[in-house]
Amino acid sequence: MKFPESISRRGVFLSLASVLPASRGCLLALQDTKFSADVKVVNLLATVRDKHGQLVRTLDQDDFLLEEDGRPQTIRYFARETDLPLVLGLMVDTSGSQRRVLDEERDASHAFLEQVLREDKDATFIAHFDREIAVLQEQTSSREKLEAALALLEVPMQDRGGGQPAPVPRGQRNAGTLLYDAVVQISGKLMQPQQGRKAFIVLSDGVDNGSQQTLGRAIKASLVADTLIYSILFADPHGYGGGNRRGPGGGGRWGPPRHEHIDGKTVLQLLSKETGGGFFEVTKTEPLSLIYLRIQEELRNQYSVGYTPDRVDISAGYHKIRLTVRKKGMVVRTRDGYYAGQ
């Protein structure tokens, strides 16, 4: 598997190792990239859970330990983010494979936005992606506008009869689901210009079979935009006429392979793990409505940690972050690193 441009070799290799079965023996040939920006303060949003999986809300600055590239760092800013404004996005997969679950996604999203959005503080946008990418509603605090945008979510006409995309005219590239392209575009255009807490939710089966961008570039774009990704795997076992849920390429009905296979679940796990968000999977015992409640709880119980790297001559490229808690049995979830300029 090769990411032409991605996060660090070490960061992605460790992430894939944690979510892919060892028997698959995936080897990554990754190239480091550079992001031209002077990093003075690095900000992290973190969620902490105890050994029982319960959120921990009472920690102080002295309870945390922070490292960058293995070097201890001093935390200079700390706060419990229980009430600060939030920019939240909802990105919904409307490709043919989601046609049977889209109504449930729309209904649950209505309820979620009703519960989580504070019209005096928060802003939300709604976008969808299939063979095209469109923002149905830019950032707004108006529930009325968001409700209207949710009503517009629908599977393209040509994909309503089955999971196989309709033939695409010669020279037209949008032959499949553009998940990676959507993450890159939304991160760069909508999220990066925003300040404060930023997150978006991706509702999808994780399959990408048409993007020009790569998974690595999608992760990088979110990191550069300081945006958490909460991904929700909602897969219809009949969405591909029997269940091919593998990612980009693969030949057969999707045409000649363009990338190595990555199954959709792994894609969503990586998007969330690398950016510090959470991964969830819709099941009979964990419906979408319950998952939304868990995400809402996390967004209201985060820690904000800020620091200035101790090295003046910090090199350009990706830098690994490790944030832990002194108390045993607690798990910290935050982004794995950031990009420094030169």
Q: What is the 8-class DSSP label of residue 65?
A: E
pLDDT value at residue 10: 44
Residue segments in the chain with a per-residue pLDDT below the cut of 70: 1-39, 156-175, 237-261, 341-342
Q: Which pair of structure tokens corresponds to residue 314?
A: 């910090």
Domain ranges of the chain: 37-82+302-340, 86-227+234-299
CA angle 75, 77, 78 (to 5 degrees): 95
Alpha-carbon span 6 to 218, nearest angstrom: 8
Q: Please count the residues of the chain.
A: 342
pLDDT at 95: 87
User: What pLDDT shows up at residue 248?
Assistant: 44
pLDDT 10s digits, 64-85: 999 999 999 999 999 987 777 8
* pLDDT at site 120: 84
Cα distances (angstroms) measured from residue 52 to each of 65, 294, 325, 334, 335: 21, 15, 16, 19, 22
CA–CA separation, 119 and 177 (whole Å): 32
- What tens digit of pLDDT does each residue of 100-137 get? 888 888 888 988 888 888 888 899 999 999 999 999 99
Task: Give the Å distances, CA to CA, from 292 to 107, 113, 201, 202, 325.
Answer: 12, 9, 10, 12, 27
- The whole-angstrom separation of Cα 46 and Cα 298 is 9
CB burial readout 83-97, b (16+ within 10 A) else e: eebbbbbbbbbbbbb
Instruction: Report the CATH fold assignment for 86-227+234-299.
Output: Rossmann fold (3.40.50)
Q: Where are the beta strands (DSSP E) in 4-120?
A: 29-30, 42-49, 64-68, 71-72, 77-81, 86-93
